[in-house]
Amino acid sequence: MTILVTGSAGFIGANFVLDWLAHHDEAVVSLDKLTYAGNLANLQSLEADARHTFVQGDIGDQALVAELLEKYQPRAVVNFAAESHVDRSIHGPEDFIQTNIVGTFRMLEAVRAYWKGLSGEAAGTFRFLHVSTDEVYGSLSPTDPAFTETNQYEPNSPYSASKAASDHLVRAYHHTYGLPVLTTNCSNNYGPYHFPEKLIPLVIHNALAGKDLPIYGDGQQIRDWLYVKDHCSAIRRVLEGGKLGETYNVGGWNEKANLDVVHTLCDILDQEQPRADGLSYREQLTFVKDRPGHDRRYAIDASKLERELGWKPAETFETGIRKTVRWYLDNQEWVNNITSGNYRDWVSKQYQ
Ligand code: NAD
Ligand code: TYD
């Protein structure tokens, strides 16, 4: 048996593939375009592993996806491939439309044709799992209840709008063609292999490099943080037992204001790798111009997933964030390799 995983050289996709092969021997075919966010070093430990096959390519290349499905006959497709960074979507939405909407559509077309050609048990057990985000639900006020699966979609950024569109396409392919789909909508992830354009790895990287720690606006925006390996276990669980056509919210019950997250990171770094001058990393905090249209609060109600499929996160924010800081301290070479070239161009454009 084989599964096809797209976006597998990115942050969550790589963690998923590594965890998958650590849990059992079912083979994985990886498809990734290797954009700026894709990094084969994330999958380096699988280089000589016969259970893993990597293919560089675009989910929007329908002929390639069809060829891979025909060749490897996967029993499931898990779709992580996307443009994922809100700030980049504000500077240039085009790639988000191309990959997240058109790319998902082309892949759905290839998957639909493949699935129609399956027979018997293979047709009945096939699954297409689409990995999405809580950002499709829009922004909450401080007193609103957390997002449930029945919340209206109110995406506010080009990123979340493109993800919302992809979710709707996936839903429509189930409703119209009967394609056996599952969708997960997850809160903000953090952990190993997180590209340092996102808040948590950016702050760790900048702190250690003696650079400013940029806080957008007043730093009181709230995100609900989930350790990436808990997201991976939720996806495995939904793939195994999720009801066809259903969506499942995934979250860590860890709402934190950005400023509190950054303070926590500084405090852990103060203990683990104190500054040479004995001052706290908090000294590097800098308030910068807010993100346009910045969503104020996200919060996920993950009780459906717990009630129906028995899933709960294993990490609290406190345990997960310590593991994450430790990982970055132990993997400075990984960080150094990706914080050159394109990355520098992005940082100077965004934080000039
Ligand atoms: P990422 O940006 O780190 O990785 C995305 C990967 O997709 C990269 O390896 C990139 O090369 C690849 N990719 C991009 N365009 C492609 C294309 N056209 N064809 C094939 N591959 C392509 O993103 P991530 O944080 O790992 O997110 C993965 C998925 O999870 C995304 O769909 C995202 O919307 C969703 N998600 C992310 C978070 C989060 O906090 N990071 C939370 C909820 C949901
Ligand atoms: P980010 O990691 O980009 O995830 P998302 O926008 O998908 O939630 O940002 C997390 C939060 O941190 C978000 O409210 C924006 C904020 N932020 C900063 O304050 N400074 C930064 O330099 C970055 C990258 C993000």
Ligand sitting nearest the alpha carbon of 33: 1
Examine the pLDDT at 344 and tell me if it is beyond 90: no
Residue with the larger pLDDT of the pair 341 and 47: 47
pLDDT value of position 230: 98
Q: Which atom of ligand 2 is closest in space to residue 213's alpha carbon?
A: 22
Counting residues of the chain whose pLDDT is more than 70, the rounded percentage is 100
Active-site residue among 134, 230, 295, 301?
134
CA of 38 to the centre of ligand 1 (A): 8
What would the mean pLDDT of 244-260 be, rounded to a whole number? 97
Closest-CA residue to 10 (of 82, 108, 92): 82
pLDDT value of position 345: 87
Q: Which atom of ligand 1 is closest in space to residue 7's alpha carbon?
A: 7
**Whether 255 is catalytic:** no
Q: Which atom of ligand 2 is closest in space to residue 262's alpha carbon?
A: 19
pLDDT value of position 320: 98
Residue 258 in contact with ligand 2 by CB distance below 6 A: yes
Give the mutation target among 147, 163, 218, 223 for probing the ligand 2 site: most ligand atoms within 8 A of CB.
223
Counting residues of the chain whose pLDDT is more than 90, the rounded percentage is 96
With cut-offs at 50, 70 and 90, classify the pLDDT of residue 343. Answer: confident
pTM of the model: 0.98
pLDDT value of position 300: 98
CA angle 168, 173, 176 (to 5 degrees): 110
pLDDT tens-digit map of 170-218 = 999 999 999 999 999 999 999 999 999 999 999 999 999 999 999 999 9
Examine the pLDDT at 156 and tell me if it is beyond 90: yes
CA distances from 105 to 29, 94, 302 (A): 20, 16, 27
With cut-offs at 50, 70 and 90, classify the pLDDT of residue 328. Answer: very high
pLDDT value of position 164: 99
Judge whether 216 and 290 are in contact, CB under 8 Å. yes
**Whether 26 is catalytic:** no
With cut-offs at 50, 70 and 90, classify the pLDDT of residue 166. Answer: very high
pLDDT tens-digit map of 210-232 = 999 999 999 999 999 999 999 99
Closest-CA residue to 164 (of 137, 128, 139, 146): 137
CA of 222 to the centre of ligand 2 (A): 10
What would the mean pLDDT of 153-161 be, rounded to a whole number? 98
- For ligand 2, atom 6, the nearest C-alpha belongs to 86
Domains of the chain: 2-194+227-253+295-314 (3.40.50.720)
**Whether 159 is catalytic:** yes
How many CB atoms within 10 Å of residue 202?
Answer: 21
Active-site residue among 135, 197, 230, 315?
135
Examine the pLDDT at 341 and tell me if it is beyond 90: no
With cut-offs at 50, 70 and 90, classify the pLDDT of residue 34. Answer: very high
Half-sphere exposure of 61 (CA within 13 A, CB side): 13
With cut-offs at 50, 70 and 90, classify the pLDDT of residue 342. Answer: confident
Which residues have a Cβ under 8 Å from the Cβ of 116 and sit 6 or more positions away? none
Give the C-alpha separation, 336 to 331, whole Å.
Answer: 9
Amino acid letter, residue 314 = A
pLDDT tens-digit map of 49-73 = 999 999 999 999 999 999 999 999 9
What would the mean pLDDT of 77-98 be, rounded to a whole number? 98
Active-site residue among 114, 159, 190, 281?
159
Give the C-alpha separation, 153 to 274, whole Å.
Answer: 44
